[in-house]
Chains A and B, each alone.
Chain A
Amino acid sequence: MLICGNQMNPKILIITGYGLNCEAESQRAWTLAGAAPDLVHLNDLLAQPERLHAYAGLMFIGGFSYGDHMGSGLAFAARLRHHLRADLARFIADGKLILGVCNGFQIMVKLGLLPGLDGDYFAQRVALMPNAGGVFQNFWVTLRFEPRSPCVFTRGLDPMPLPIRHGEGRLFTLEPALLDRLEALGGVPCRYADPATGAATQAFPHNPNGSLRAIAGLCDPTGRIFGLMPHPEAYLFPENHPQWDFQYLRGNAPAQGLGLHLFRNAVTFLQTS
């Protein structure tokens, strides 16, 4: 692949603006993982779209782009489709990485970057609908990772607690066959799990939104384009965990927040590919 920046500290572009709001912790996550992230306002990027190609990775962060009006991610995706489609296509063709979290994932799904079937990255195939419970929710869930997925972000990861903070996270389609196909391709790298059994679940609250087949995130068939609803960038400190006080006493607190692993995987991939 093309080298962008120092290969040891790959450059990551984080798009900001229009109500996206997780830029600070996302920047921190990439930095801790060894990358060199830049925050770039969407307007500045659209004014000079070729800037995108100086980066090895792109992140669509969480937040409330356009207030989630008209459906989460719709307005932001419309803007990207209209002004950045060709550059995104080239970025993907160049074999680079794209990560989307929460609203960023919703934007990617609306745009069609995910699931990115049949080489078509600009046709929406699935939906992220309002949570089955009907309201926005913030609490911690357990994520399990599917070892068969080609996803470079989730390679070798053990189940992990992460916070969810969304109102529209229920992965949905009217075509079950599409999900079969996705699963066969390894396009479902992570699911909501029952922490007691480790098994994927449809039961609230472990599955917080009623997502079909407990799907928490999707990747494209190459595994380089990945999005998920839970927030790995919100678990960078051990003290972010809601039971850190118990973990401290029992001596089982991790040295760093576990969310960092997803970013480390991405950086390792960029350093070694």
Chain B
Amino acid sequence: MLIMGPPFTGRFMTHRIEIGLRRGVHDARGAKVVAQARKFFRLPVRACVTRDVYKVDVALSAGALRALRKVFTDPVISRSADHRLPAPAGAWLIEVGFKPGVTDNLGRTAQEVVADVLDRPLTPSEGVYTSVQYFLRGALTRDQAQRLGRDLLANELIQTIRVFTPEEWAAAPVDAEPPVMRDPAAIHVRTYELGGTDEELLRLSRAGILSLSLDELHALRDYFLRPDVRAARAALGLPAAPTDVEVECVAQTWSEHCKHKIFAARIRYVDEHGREQLIDSLFKTFIRGATEKIAPEVDWLVSVFTDNAGVIRFDDRYNVSYKCETHNSPSALDPYGGAITGIVGVNRDPMGTGMGCELLCNTWGYCLASPFFDGALPAGLMHPRRIRDGVHQGVIDGGNQSGIPWTRGFERFDERYLGKPLVYCGTVGRIPRVLQGRPSERKEIEPGDAIVMCGGRIGKDGIHGATFSSEELRAESPAQAVQIGDPITQRKMYEFLIEARDQGLYRALTDNGAGGLSSSLGEMSSLSGGAEVDLARAPLKYAGLQPWEILLSEAQERMSLAVPPDHVAALRRRDVEATVLGTFTNSGAFVLQHDGRAVGRLDLDFLHDGCPKMSLEARWTPPRVAAPRPLRAGPRHRALLGLLGALNVCSKEFKSRQYDGEVKGLSVVKPFVGMYSDVPSDATVMRVAYDSHAGLILAEGLNPFFSDLDTYAMMASVIDEAVRRVISAGGQLGRIAGLDNFCWPDPVLSEKTPDGPYKLAQLVRANQALYDVCTAYGVPPISGKDSMKNDSVRGGRRISIPPTVLFSTLAILDDVRRAVTMPFKQPGDAIYVLGVTRNELGASEFHRWLAAAQGTPSAYGGRVPGLDAPRALNLYRALGAATRAGLLHSSHTPTLGGLAVAFALAALGGDLGAEINLAAVPAADEPGDDALLFAESNSRFVVTCAPDQTAALEALFRGLPCARVGTVTAARTLRIAGGGRRLVDAELDILRQAFRKTLNGI
């Protein structure tokens, strides 16, 4: 079957404009290149001059070109030329442009300016394309210049790099050639032969990045052999063999990324005593099971696990929604593009939840290898510093340009994230509880409603993203799986959608994320019972996409709407494209056409429920991890400074300050608190509306190091951390919801994963703990996500991440002015420790610091922190009463580095000293001084109150582990004594310097 593509359109001359800075104007971009080239590559670059190049592929008169260049050029600081500016003498030139089809956001803005200046819209074949020139002075070889291009200035997956000597540049013809695909491929729908042997089927799956298992391939084959299916497809004129449209649609719908097959699998779990447990779906049993058990106890769950984000009631007027996602694989290939897509992508989850939420705030968190990594980097992997810089910049640009403030952010470092970084992005939304007289969470679609796609256009970006992220990272992983988000296009769509929502113009919406239209329309069509789509109607960025590519493209900034036919005309506004692609039906089938011709048909029940369940084996054997040798008794000054400066503890302020945290003006407790705003808060607090004091508390827990000892303890600890951070900030039990994000190494037994049963047992144990702790605490999970193939095979080396769970909490606070912050507030205040410290140093920062110092960095074993949930609950209730009563001047919950780091940070926050007596700390199992100082036992707080309030405080905590351990002092020194000895005596300036210096400026 062959369908012709659109005809090739004629060309005209492309104009080239170069823009540089005037003499005497500082080139900040160039200065940064010089600094990085010298520091990270140790190359003798002396100076760098940068320029912007615009290739204007538009029909222009000479006068219009002059006018355009004038508008493009800042008259105060810039100069420009048609074709070329004079090149700086004796400099290498590296020119970096985009490959054809890659999102060029700068070029797109330039196009809009051109349209404004010309006073006419550009035609589809016109465009503006940008590149950047770096003129480098210094004694460089060609190899070195190329290396800077490749490893510092550009990413060859998406960009082109051209290197010139001065002579070569002078001799080179002026290049005005735009990076466009000139010869669109003819439209061609292929069919798949599924009649072959099992080996042939598997080869087919792998070659096409379908990521289908043999069972799934058999199910697919059998479906197309069904007589009813054959008859229905024949009636539409489809060939007997399935088309690429159909196979690709099924493969992406059944992908691990979309279907969560491991969490849905049947699992036989055997523990260390040989006891067996059969589990039918980890998700249903433990995660949804926990929510269902808690649901009768809380009255604020609105929509959980069904929509794009979990929804809870905030107050009488509003519901709030929260979703957290990961974008790991794309960020490994293109850190900037992957991460910006991660954040603007997760924005669309609340935006597509219910009738569409307004966006309140973002959260982010990254698990990375050390930016100071100096070992051998497997071929094909990027240096972790580069990944880190790119990921931060992507989320910075995505969040800032969208006008959404960040509230929480974290970084964790471990060498096992070298192969795949973890990039968590979350968004909280707000929605009126009732819209047009209907509950705003309700989505309905009537047969006959128009299928409307709005927002950006479709290109090849992100094709196979869903199936690709369901695989390990290989050298041949597809470049086209990388998208680059465009926050401005999305912002325009967002404003358009909220207006349309408030006018009641659509009945349902969802976002086009992983899997593109096939996923969004596949999901929506189950609401009406079917859909008919003509893929040729979808607006394309450029001609030549095959029908299956249109269906699967993950081009960003798009939403799908169900629109009553009489409202379609009203949707066209605000420069946002809204296109009718077809109609929702109740035929039971998803029917796909291209220009009126059928190219695919799938029964919805097969598409959604036809994927065979996996059966997996899990076997738990407790790991043996050696402990470091104990440290000789003595002062712990050096250890405390070491921990404060450790990568996982130290200040992340330098990067964090590049994120906008205050747009909307709703922030109350910010990510950084203290007299100098330089210590991290336990949790952040924000208002939700300008006319109310009610607000939200956000916090999280994450600890991959505990996973090395026991994932049950890891999961229990991260939930406790996420909950106790909320309690510390003034939250109350019974008002806290949770979100889980599992990131795992492949836990399925295979040739390349012989330890699959152990990794799966780790997953089972984490889920058991999630159920136990969430139900004990009454914290219902409302949304979650899993990413299960976080392995990389590059340069012959397999790197798997440690099992990592981010547990995020969202809590409601009636009056944000009651929030409690962590810094010590005034001299003379009494310092209390609440909760029991145990001999639990296993996998602690202290043991990891000690193990590294002893030359055996992975020997950080020991007893991992346990959790006594019933006792913790009593403590949390009492602390809730104390904050309600306004008794506390500060509250801080210890995490990494234990009490010692907690005292230090609270002191730094207040710029006040403290005298602490460790012997008074409530303890069990006779911990030594090192455990008292550094154990990361759960469920503890360091709180202060005014000296005349101590009796009231002690009365509230009667019968609970609570002891006064010291006093806040005006002397700017932290003094900790234990067992009659002075363990720490440190001036605040020295502590502050240790905390700040590691990542300052990096």
User: Which of A's residues lie within 8 Å of B, judged by CB?
Assistant: 16-22, 24-25, 28, 41, 43, 62-64, 66-71, 74-75, 78-79, 82-83, 110, 124-127, 129-132, 134-140, 163, 165, 172-174, 231, 233-237, 239-240, 242-246, 248-249
Contact = CB atoms under 8 A, between A and B. Distances in A.
17 contacts: A21-B402, A25-B663, A66-B109, A67-B401, A69-B105, A70-B52, A71-B74, A79-B116, A127-B74, A165-B660, A165-B662, A172-B77, A236-B690, A239-B668, A243-B675, A245-B825, A249-B825
A238 to B, nearest CB: 9
A94 to B, nearest CB: 26
B32 interface: yes
A67 B103 CA distance: 14
Output the residue of A70, A233, A235, A243 with the most chain B CB within 10 A.
Answer: A70
A165 B662 CA distance: 8
Interface string B789-826: 00000000000000000000000000011011101011
Interface string B819-839: 111010110000000000000
A139 B74 CA distance: 28
A138 B404 CA distance: 13
Given A75-B116, A132-B26, 17 more contacts: A21-B491, A22-B663, A24-B664, A64-B487, A66-B112, A67-B487, A69-B109, A70-B52, A70-B110, A75-B113, A134-B32, A136-B400, A234-B663, A239-B668, A243-B675, A245-B673, A245-B825
Contacts of A138: 657-662
Contacts of A240: 662, 665, 667-668
Contacts of A237: 665, 668, 687
B670 interface: yes
A159 B662 CA distance: 20
Nearest to A208: B657
Contact of B665 (A25, A74, A139): A25
Contacts of B52: 70
Given A19-B491, A69-B106, A139-B677, A129 B575 contact: no
A16 B495 contact: yes
Interface residues of B, number: 68
B234 interface: no
A130 B821 CA distance: 34
B663 A62 contact: yes
Contact of A233 (B397, B659, B665): B665
A64 B665 contact: no
Contacts of B403: 19-22, 63-64
B76 A127 contact: yes
A141 to B, nearest CB: 12
Interface string B108-119: 111011001101
B60 interface: no
B401 A19 contact: yes
Contacts of B722: none
Given A67-B488, A233-B665, A239-B817, A127 B77 contact: yes
B31 interface: yes
Interface string B483-513: 0001110011001000000000000000000
B933 interface: no
A82 B117 CA distance: 7
A173 B819 CA distance: 46
B654 to A, nearest CB: 9
Contacts of A110: 74
A78 B117 contact: yes
A248 B821 CA distance: 12
Contacts of A132: 26, 28
A174 to B, nearest CB: 6
A185 to B, nearest CB: 19
A67 B26 CA distance: 22
A131 to B, nearest CB: 8
A24 B488 CA distance: 18
Contact of A242 (B573, B677, B826): B677
A230 to B, nearest CB: 11
B72 interface: yes
B841 to A, nearest CB: 33
